Structures are given as structure tokens and as C-alpha cells.
Structure 1
Amino acid sequence: MGMFSNDNDNNTSINVNKDDFKEVNENTMNNDYENIKKKRRSGKVLIYILVGILCTTLGGVVSSIATINYLKDNPSIINKSSSPSNNNTLNSKNTPVNTLQQMSVADIAKNVGPTVVGVSTKGFPKTLAWGAEVQQQEGLGSGIIFDKEGYILTNNHVIQGAKTIKVIFNNGKEVPAKLINSDPSYDVAVIKITEKVDMPGVANFGDSDSLIVGEPAVAIGNPLGRDLLGSVTTGVISAVNRTIDERNKDLKLIQTDAAINPGNSGGPLVNSKGQVIGINTEKRVGKGVEGLGFAIPINQIKPKIQNLMTPKVMVGILGRTVTKEDSKQYNIPVGAYISEVVQYGPGEKAGLNPGDIIISADGKKITSMEDLDKAKQGRKAGDTINLKVYRDGKEVSIKLKLEAQ
């Protein structure tokens, strides 16, 4: 230990220990060393972070380049994921209606409307044999294009007894058509456009078995004649599986409060996806009765479509039903009255005459034109059918060989 003296400090002495210097120096060195270690560790961490960021960035760039190159080599993937669906429109021919998304009424009218046509028919002669006066007039119903070759689904009662059939598109254009086949028991028929023409669209059939009471429904058709072609009415599904006695047949129908009027027959009942879920067939009317429209469920028709697209066999006549009222008034039997015999057809060859009333076929009573159509079902061209007709107050037996229509 040593001693220093300072005259100016009033002889105050300061004792300094050497070990104190040593301790201070060692502490300072230790602290500096620790600081250096911390700085080195911080520097290493920073380097690691920077390297990580750089690697991540490079990886992302490489991945992006690889993805872009892959998509260039596989453009279909881009199309599948980003292209808007064209199933929603019918502006191009034969484009089916979108079945995946809910559609507004305006979209349904735009997309389904072009597939709905008017069905114009002419047929009856002016004077029937028993004296009833019937003016030859135009009948007008509706139909729906369901095949790109011009096949149209409609009601049997719309075309029954028609001598000529014309199809009216929603733009007013008229083209000729012919009956291919019909099923009177379900009141459905298929006609086909006979002129080469592009179809404005093809309707898509839905699933009528999945209908829920209360869901939206849209009816499209031609109520009350040509002036109201393509009318759209809206409502809901009021009921399903309604058993209705329609034209002496019990059918299970869809009930809706969407307005269905004369001329709508044969037109579609459509769901909110733009799918046809029924064929409009009738409206119940009466005092105080509103909102009772009915449609044939499309699932009842689907299994019959292929057969309906196959040409039916024909008798070769035009006619109408002799009702019970006609029978009483004119003292003639009920049956299928022949108003015209097709020239060179099987009826003419067999000896049928205008004014004859067909009263039985193969032993089964015929009380209407529908019964005569049923008698032909399941037959093929070349089959023979045994008819009994009422002629001049007598029954006459006629053997007729069916031909393809």
C-alpha cells in the first residue's frame, strides 16, 4: 500500500489499494468481453434472419416461375377454374340451360323463353256427318324444344285431330311440323319440325321428385292466342302428387298458383334453376276459384321420351270424339268419328270412309280418339287391327294393316 499527498487539499490523504485497480480492470475486461459476445450473437441471429428471408424469397420466386410455366403448358386448368360458365345462356344454339345456380325470373325468361314455342293446329271439317256445324279454326297451345333436331314436347290434347301443325318461335317465325308419337294416357305428345332451321335453344329437364311445396315456380307459354306469345307468370309449388281426373284419366299432377291459362297447355313449368319440372296441362276454373294450375311431372314423362321420339303407327284418318252428349242428341254411338281419310293411307286401303264411327278395336270398346290411340300403342308397322265401325245405321267389320307414320 502507498500514500500520496496534495498540499492544496488541506493535507487530505487518499489511500489507494493496488488490488482495487486489479479488480476494476478485471471487471471492465469481463464486461467488455460479455458485450462483445452479445454483439457477436446478435450479429449471428441477424445473419440467420437475413439468410432465411433471402431463401424464402428465392423459393417463392422459383415456385412462382415453375407454376407459371406449368399453367402455360396446361391451359385447360386455367379455363376450368376461371372461365365463366356458358350453361347459363341460350343465345347460341343448342346450349343447355344452367342447372347449377339459382336464377332470377328475368334470367329464367331470358334463358328458357327461346325454347318455348307456340303450337298451331288446324283440323276439323266444317260439317260433321250427324249435322253438327264446326268451323275449321286454329287451335293454339304451347310446346318446349328438348332436342337439337327439332323435337318438341307438348300435350296430346293440343295436337289431337290436327290436320296441319305449325310451330311458332318466340320471334314470330313459323315453321311446319308433324306428329311423331303421343301417349294419351299421360296427355303428352312429341312433334318434330320438318323444315331445316337452327334451334334457338334446348331445354333442360329437372327432377320433379325433389320438389318442395312452397318453392318458386315459373310458367311460360302462350295464353289466349298469338298476341301473348312467350308470357311468363310466377308462383310457387302449391302441392305435389295431386290426383286429378283430367279428360277421364286420373293423373298425379303438380299444383301451382302460377297463372296457367288456355294456350299455356304444353308449355313448361320451370324451377328456380331454369329446369323444366313439369308440362302445363290445365287450369281449374269456377266461381271464386283462383290459382289452381296443374302440370304433368317431368319425371313421369322422361321414361317415355325415347318411345315418343319413335314414329308411331297410323290408321290414316283425321277425326274427333263423339261424346255422350253428341250420342244422345244425334242418336249415334259414342266413338271415334272419321272426318277425313288420308289419301293412300292404311285407312283408305282398308275401306274406311268419312262419316264412319269407329266403335271397337280388337274387341275393345272405342269411346274416343284417345281410345283409338291407345289401341295402337305397342303395335308396329305391318300389324293388323280389327275394327268395327258404325256406318249408315249398321256395324261393319274392317281389317286394317297399320303403317308407319
Structure 2
Amino acid sequence: MDNNLNNNEPNFVMGDDSTNNNINDNNVGFYDNNNFTNDEFQFDNEPLNEKKPKKNRKWMKYVGVGLVGAILGGIITTSSILYVLPKSDMFKNTELYKSIKGNSVYEGKVPEFTQTSEGMSLTDVVKQVAPAVVGVSTKSVSQDMFYGKQQVMEGIGSGVIFSEEGYVLTNYHVIQGAQEVKVILNNNGEGKEVNAKVVNYDAQRDIAIVKITDDIKMPAVAPLGDSDELLPGQQVVAIGNPLGKEFLGTVTSGIISAVNRDIVMDQNGTKLKFIQTDTAINKGNSGGPLINAKGEVIGINTLKTGETGVEGMGFAIPINEIKPKLEDLVKPLLKIGIAGKAIDENTAKENNVPQGVLVAQVEDLSSAQKAGLQAGDIITSFDGKAVKTVEEINEIKAKHKSGDTVKVEIYRNNSKKTIELQLAE
């Protein structure tokens, strides 16, 4: 029994297999993660081995359900990976909790998938979209700064090709922390691995864009639909990679159970809207498409309930929440070339260092290396503005263009130092 969870509270599972690296980054293939931990130091608000909470402390959990190799620090593992532990009283204030048995939920008999007015059967829908559904394979290697140990984690999620240029839409948590990304094409049931790179992402919205870099003809491009047209009871299909590469291109079907579900995603009270469906969303489905009866992508599968005894409650990001962001997300991120993690106030006090972003790794030949940044440096100011998190560095970078030079203040060996760094794609 998990002593950190109240069994009366709903749990949510990230329908993913992300490489949840313990190193947070925003450059050169290292992507933001808020769970950097090593054997002694915890740069997070929750310890790896959680103590029993007080009796009046209730929790709801969000867990990753991805397939992974070595699980890195800052992640709690049971049968799946713990991502966040927001307080359950926040969940009680959400529309999802209030309307879980509301009239907006379709509770009738699930209809069989029949031929639609567009003349498409379930088979037609799958035939149109399945070739565009891919696996997103990730790998991360990190080195414990204090003990020199290397840790490796691999994962596989899902994604969908949405352009002839090879852009793939997936969840941010699928590629979070990844240093290497591959795309797996469904070649008549056989997985064909091709090279890819992360182009950009929106961590708060949990979406990311990966681009196939090999010179190949795209097997298919999935059309994007209109999620605002969805109604409870409509038939939908999910395609993805439950349990990994061995089950590439698995098809499940169901209905829209409800629309516009508000779910609190973190302890800051961040709310996101989701489509609720009874379509099976399992380990490895994260980032895969939810498809309507016209053969259009109307959502990106992201969450499922993790509550014991509760089935048929999956959640997808509405495609209309994503489409306005695509133009910006296909533009490459400006890169520094570091992997880093925010040092929280308690850790800073305990170790007599300033708050800022700890540099854990520096990419060879990167802007960071050329500027003289070293592993162990703590970035306290970026472009003249105090920073405490990687997200704050990202916000500043977003206001610049490739080639711009910024001043970076660092703390190294008990002294402050200012360096100049040139941003690049």
C-alpha cells in the first residue's frame, strides 16, 4: 500500500513512456525536467523516499506510465513513474472533480463503430491515419556530479506526423530529459527507426515537436480536425504504442465521454483542458493521436486515471488547443548547450550557495563551452535578469534571436564571475 496516497482520491497517469531524466535542460537535446536528484542532494520539493504524510494530508498523484530502463533520481517508481504530487484538495476544486458524475458524461451503452456519413468505417479511419502514427524513442545519459556515476534511461512514447516536412507532434513529457531522440515508423508492423531531433516544446501545455532528420518520404500525414465540434457519445479511435515497440500501431476505440475537462496539473494550480474518453490509453500511448470518425486528429493522448478499480477514463489534449501554437513550435529553440537544474532555497542555504540554475553538463562545442561555462557553475543572472529556474532562462531566450550575445553571471568556487554567451539554434 502506498502510504503517500489517499485511496479515496482519484489518481492520474501520464499516458507516456518518457525519459524522465533527472537533469533539467533547455538546450542541445537536454529538455526541462523538474526532478533532479542525486544520492545526497535533492533539488526538488519532495524527497525520493517520501515520509509518511500527516493523516490530514491528502494527495492526488500524476504518474508516468512509460517503459524505461534505469530510473533516475527524483522519480518515484512503483509499477509506474511518479511525476507530480499535487494536493487532492486542488483537484476537488476542479470542474473534473465536480462533474465526474455530471450530465456531461456519456454513460450509455458504448456503440459499435459504424460507417460514418463520410463513408469511413473503423478500418478506413485506421488505414488513413495509422501510417502517420510513430513511436518516439528517447535516451538519456547523465553523470552524478558528486559521485561520478553514470545513469542511463530509455523510453518510448507515441507521436503523429502532421506535415510533409517530417514534423511530429507528441507530448513534452515523452521527450523530457532526452539527449537522443529517434522516430520509429510503422513499416507494415515492423518498426523502422530513423533519426530525429526535438525542435521545440511547450512544457506547460505538455506538447513538443520532433522533426525527422533522415531524408525520407513521409509514410503519411495525419489531417488535423476541429476538437470544438466534439460531443459526448461520438466515436473515436486511439493509435499508439502501448507497452512499447513490440505493440507498435495498436488501435483501440471508444467514445468521447466529456469535453472541456479542467485538470489541475501542478501545485501551482495550473489548469489545462482535456477531452475525456473511454478509449483505452495505456503505457506508451502518450503523444499518440485521438482520431474522430472522419479520420482526423482531434486530440493528443496524455493522461489516464491511475485509481485502483477505475477504468475507461483517459484524457487527451484538444487539437484546437495545440493548432495556434504550431507555427511557433516548428521554429527551433535557441540553444545554450547545458543541462541544468534549479537550486531551491533550502538546498542553497544548506550548501551555502546562491539560488540559481546548477550547470550539470556542458555540451561539447556548444555556446556554453565556448563561453567558458563549466559543470558545477551556478547561473544566477541571464541577460541582466536574476534567474532561479531553467524556465526563466527560456523566457529570456525567447525574446532573442540566433546570434545575440547575452551576459551571464555565474557563481564558481565561492566567487562571482560574468561571461558573455552567444545564442544559437
The bucket for the TM-score relative to the shorter chain is 0.5 to 0.7
Match of 2:218 among 199, 208, 212: 199
Match of 1:292 in 2: 313
Match of 2:370 in 1: 349
Q: Distance in 2 between matches of 1:375 and 1:147?
A: 29
Q: Distance in 2 between matches of 1:357 and 1:223?
A: 40
Match of 2:170 in 1: 154
Match of 1:81 in 2: none
Match of 1:366 in 2: 388
- 8 Å CA contact 2:357–2:387 kept in 1: the answer is no
Match of 1:66 in 2: none
Distance change in 2, residues 1:334/1:105 (3 Å): farther
Aligned partner of 2:121: which letter? S
Q: Distance in 1 between matches of 2:324 and 2:262?
A: 20
How many equivalent residue pairs?
304
Distance change in 2, residues 1:296/1:128 (3 Å): same
How does 1:5-404 map onto structure 2 within 5 Å?
Answer: 101=118, 103-125=120-142, 127-131=143-147, 135-171=151-187, 172-246=191-265, 249-319=270-340, 336-358=357-379, 361-362=382-383, 363=385, 365-367=387-389, 369-389=390-410, 391=412, 397-404=418-425
- 8 Å CA contact 2:379–2:387 kept in 1: the answer is no
Distance change in 2, residues 1:220/1:121 (3 Å): same
Q: Distance in 2 between matches of 1:338 and 1:347?
A: 10
1:138 is paired with a residue of what secondary structure? strand
Aligned partner of 1:140: which letter? I
Aligned partner of 1:403: which letter? A
CA RMSD in angstroms comes to: 3.0
Aligned partner of 1:167: which letter? V
Question: Higher helix proportion, which one?
Answer: 1
Cα offset for 1:361? 4.0
Provide Cα deviations, 1:147-199, integer angstroms capped at 9, x if missing partner.
11211111222223322111100121111011222222322221211111111
Cα offset for 1:245? 2.4
Q: Distance in 1 between matches of 2:150 and 2:346?
A: 15
Distance change in 2, residues 1:291/1:346 (3 Å): same
Distance change in 2, residues 1:397/1:278 (3 Å): farther
Question: Which stretch has the larger CA shift, 228-237 or 272-281?
Answer: 228-237
TM-score (norm 1): 0.66
Question: Which stretch has the larger CA shift, 286-295 or 303-312?
Answer: 286-295
Distance change in 2, residues 1:342/1:162 (3 Å): same
Distance change in 2, residues 1:308/1:324 (3 Å): same
Question: Which stretch has the larger CA shift, 339-348 or 101-110?
Answer: 101-110
Structure 2: runs of 5+ lacking an equivalent: 1-115
Distance change in 2, residues 1:195/1:289 (3 Å): same
Q: Distance in 2 between matches of 1:124 and 1:329?
A: 27
Aligned partner of 2:123: which letter? A
Q: Distance in 2 between matches of 1:329 and 1:292?
A: 43
Provide Cα deviations, 1:23-68, integer angstroms capped at 9, x if missing partner.
xxxxxxxxxxxxxxxxxxxxxxxxxxxxxxxxxxxxxxxxxxxxxx
- 8 Å CA contact 2:169–2:209 kept in 1: the answer is yes
Provide Cα deviations, 1:95-131, integer angstroms capped at 9, x if missing partner.
xxxx971533222222211101011111231x32145
Cα offset for 1:231? 1.5
The structure having more radius of gyration, on CA atoms, is: 1
Q: Distance in 2 between matches of 1:182 and 1:282?
A: 18
1:124 is paired with a residue of what secondary structure? strand
Provide Cα deviations, 1:187-242, integer angstroms capped at 9, x if missing partner.
22212111111111000000011111221121111122212211122222222222
Distance change in 2, residues 1:123/1:131 (3 Å): same
Distance change in 2, residues 1:324/1:153 (3 Å): farther
2:194 is paired with a residue of what secondary structure? strand
Aligned partner of 1:292: which letter? M
- 8 Å CA contact 2:135–2:156 kept in 1: the answer is yes
Distance change in 2, residues 1:196/1:222 (3 Å): same
Distance change in 2, residues 1:157/1:324 (3 Å): farther
1:175 is paired with a residue of what secondary structure? strand
Distance change in 2, residues 1:344/1:288 (3 Å): same
Cα offset for 1:139? 1.8
Match of 2:44 in 1: none
TM-score (norm 2): 0.63
Q: Distance in 1 between matches of 2:349 and 2:286?
A: 30
Match of 1:41 in 2: none
- 8 Å CA contact 1:128–1:355 kept in 2: the answer is no
Match of 2:16 in 1: none
Structure 1: runs of 5+ lacking an equivalent: 1-98
